[in-house]
Amino acid sequence: MNGPPYTPGHHLLKDRTAVITAAAGAGIGGATARRFLEEGARIAIGDAHARRLGETEKALAAEFGADRVTALPCDVTDEEQVRALFAHAEQAHGGLDIVVNNAGLGGTADLVDMTDDQWSRVLDVTLNGTFRCTRAALRSLRAAGRGGVVVNNASVVGWRAQTGQAHYAAAKAGVMALTRCAALEAAAFGVRVNAVAPSLAMHPHLVKVTSEELLAELTAREAFGRYAEPWEVANVIVFLASGYSSYMTGETVSVSSQRA
């Protein structure tokens, strides 16, 4: 089944500044960076892959203007790099309004065979990295005193059991719980914190870490008979980052067509 036509921008984020992690390449982060620019935002993007990040920055700057795009390599497992990314964003764009925590790491391993390193690596990138960036975001937004938005990338696996995904599911369930708790705290200074939970959005990294058999099985579960395009998830992130979701906080929005 063919997907829908690409949705044009409507200036929903005009003159807002956003930090987006894991934004290099063709995944949800890259799609979110493009969607934010199409909606009028300025962006500061980070990614652990410096070469891909540089290529992404160059391409987006050529299309949308160098004054609206800046980038700094950032491994979210490194607190110093997280702080540097946020400081870079504030210096480059004069402030901060939105943070999209997209960085995450998956993989497949049955729990009985999983090593401590496999477990810890997924948790450190996916959950601890989201914690580090959310903390940095709230510190910055509280100090600025003008409100703001944080959007975290969770997963339906945080709700639904799937074999071989104990580490990833635990991490994403943690992201959902972190989102709810952070939202209650951040409401005191006018900041909203929400999350998206995609089911199956196709991108090159997913293909590398998932077997063809599992991808076929997951696709068959979707009511539309296809996976989501990364930009379809990015559209929901735009909604949560925009004024159209002004009364929403602590929520996790499923971006899924999975059958009940």
Residue 1 lies in a domain: no
Residue 5 lies in a domain: no
Number of domains composing the chain: 1
3-state helix, strand, coil in the chain (%, to 5): 50, 15, 35
Residue 6 lies in a domain: no
Residue 12 lies in a domain: no
Which CATH number belongs to the domain containing residue 153 in this structure?
A: 3.40.50.720
Give the Cα separation of 234 and 172 in Å (integer).
18
Confidence (pLDDT) at 224: 77
Confidence (pLDDT) at 228: 84
For the entire predicted model, the pTM comes to 0.92
Q: Residue 56 burial (CB < 10 Å; 0-12/13-18/19+)?
A: buried
Confidence (pLDDT) at 260: 43
Give the range of the structural domain holding residue 170, as residue numbers without chain letter: 17-255
Residue 217 lies in a domain: yes
Q: Is-contact 63 33, C-beta < 8 A?
A: no
Give the Cα separation of 140 and 90 in Å (integer).
9
Residue 156 lies in a domain: yes
Residue 2 lies in a domain: no
Q: Catalytic residue, from 6, 168, 227, 247: name it.
A: 168
Task: Give average pLDDT by consecutive 10-residue segment, the chain, 260 residues.
Answer: 84 97 95 98 98 98 98 98 98 97 96 98 98 98 98 95 95 98 98 94 57 70 80 97 98 82
DSSP state of 187: G
* Greatest extent of the chain over all pairs of C-alpha atoms, in Å: 50
Confidence (pLDDT) at 210: 57
DSSP state of 118: H
Catalytic site includes residue 168? yes
CA 72 to chain CA mean position, Å: 16
Confidence (pLDDT) at 249: 98
Confidence (pLDDT) at 201: 81
Residue 145 lies in a domain: yes
